[in-house]
Every structure is written in structure tokens, then in C-alpha cells.
Amino acid sequence: MNPYSTLRLMFAFLGGVVLLFIVAPLAGMFLETEMPELVEATGDRQVTGSIQLTLWVSALATLFFAILAVPFAYLLARRDFPLKKLVLGIVDLPVVIPHTAAGIAVLGVISRDTLVGRAAESAGLNLVGHPIGIGLAMAFVSIPFLINAARDGFEHVPVRLEQAAMNLGASPLRVFFSVSLPLAWRSIVGGMIMMFARGMSEFGAVVIVAYHPMVAPVLIYERFGSYGLQYARPVAVLFILVSLATFILLRTLSRAPYVKASGNK
């Protein structure tokens, strides 16, 4: 037998083991959930309300922080500066720290006895237990996905095209919007999708900042802790189905290529 064929078969077997590891728990959960239970969960206002809250808060947090993160990603892609590696490490930090610790960190910034918390309270907002607080917790743990994807996209934009536009008299801002951004948009959109998906699945950071109102992951945990696996499983299956449909729809609309979620270059 051709040694390359043997190698491919071995790699295919290893890939099959990995796929089985991913698919088996999900398939088991779906097979053990009966259709009447799923229909009942679909008709539960608390369940549908928590899923809707999860989706729109994560979407708004992604859109808001994209305005800040995309220009920052361009700077990281185009400029070398002192302590750049430290900055890149800080960007990736939310991915590697425990997410309950991330929630405590966010809480330490937005609680009532902090500068931000007092400013929000003077405007009539208590960020703890508020959708804004939930969005901040979601964004904290997921923004590295967007920054790194956008940075990768900008790094693949040829510098000579930007320089040519400047030689023709375009300002740096116009070059950014007319050359760099259009050429990197697929990676940026891919990063936004990953940030959105990661944000809406977050539990650890969100539960520290806001147990109520409950997002879907917190509701699943609450029902599991209070009533057991059988009561929580239909909610989990419904949320997975909605998440999967949303993720596939966004990926199809963007047709974004694969982008790295995190990691330094």
C-alpha cells in the first residue's frame, strides 16, 4: 500500500475520533429529548424570552464594540510600536482566564461603588443586573475573536494598494474606508460572527454580573440546578438549535473564510 494512502487513512481515523467526540454528546442529548418536551419549551415564555434576550444583547454588544475594535485591529496590523507583544497578549487575555474571574473583573468596574457605576447610576442606570451589564460581560470574553480576525484581515491587504491610493491624493482616513476596509471585510465579518456566537454562549462571566434577567445559558443552569437534567435538557436543545440556525445563516450571508479566533503572530 502507498505510504501516503496509509498516512491519509490514519489521519482520517483520528479526525473521525475527534468528530465523534464532538457529535456524540450532542446527538445523545437530542435523541433523549422527546418532541413534546421540545414543543413545551418552545411555548414557555421564560425560555423564549431568555433566548431573545441572549441574541439581541450579544448582537448589540458585537456591533458597538466593532466600532472600537476594528480601527484598533488596523493599528495592530499596520504599526510596530514599543510593547506591541504585550498589547497582543492583553488582547488575548480574556480567552485564557477563567470566565468567572472575568465576570468578577467586569463587576469590579461597573458595580455601584465604582466610578463607572456611579456615573451610570446618576443617569438612572444600575449596570449590575441590566442588559448593558450582560452585554459588557459578553463582550469582555469575546472581543479577542473580533480583534484578531480583523487584524489578520488587514495584514493580508497589500500595503502597496494603500500607498498607491495615498500617492493619488487620498487621505489616510479615505484610504482606510475605501481600500483597507473593503478588502478586509470578510475577515472582519467573520470575526464579528465569532464574537457574537461566543458572547451569546457565555455563562460564567454573565452569571456574576447579572443572574436576572436570565440569558439562555443561565436559565439552563438554573433549571438544571433546581429541577434536574430532564427539565433543563429541552431548553438546552432549543437554544442549540436556535444558535446553530443563527450561526449558519450569518455564515451563509457573509460567506466569510475561516479566520483565526485568537493567538498572536
3-state SS string over 173-237?
Answer: HHHHHHHHHHHHHHHHHHHHHHHHHHHHCCCHHHHHHCCCCCCHHHHHHHHHHHHCHHHHHHHHH
Report the Cα–Cα distance between both ends of the chain, in Å, rounded.
39
* 3-state DSSP assignment of residue 224: helix
pLDDT band at 252 (very low <50, low <70, confident <90, very high): confident
C-alpha cell at 69: 475594535
- Confirm whether pTM is higher than 0.85: yes
What single letter denotes the amino acid at residue 84? K
pLDDT band at 165 (very low <50, low <70, confident <90, very high): very high
Q: Which domains does the chain have, with CATH numbers?
A: 42-254 (1.10.3720.10)
Examine the pLDDT at 3 and tell me if it is beyond 80: no
Residue position matching grid coordinates 495592530: 76
Examine the pLDDT at 264 and tell me if it is beyond 80: no
pLDDT of residue 260: 43
Eight-state DSSP code of residue 114: S
What single letter denotes the amino acid at residue 97? I
pLDDT band at 240 (very low <50, low <70, confident <90, very high): very high
Rounded mean pLDDT, 107-124 = 91
Rounded mean pLDDT, 17-22 = 94
* 3-state DSSP assignment of residue 234: helix
C-alpha cell at 88: 497582543
The 10 Å Cβ neighbour count of residue 204 is 16
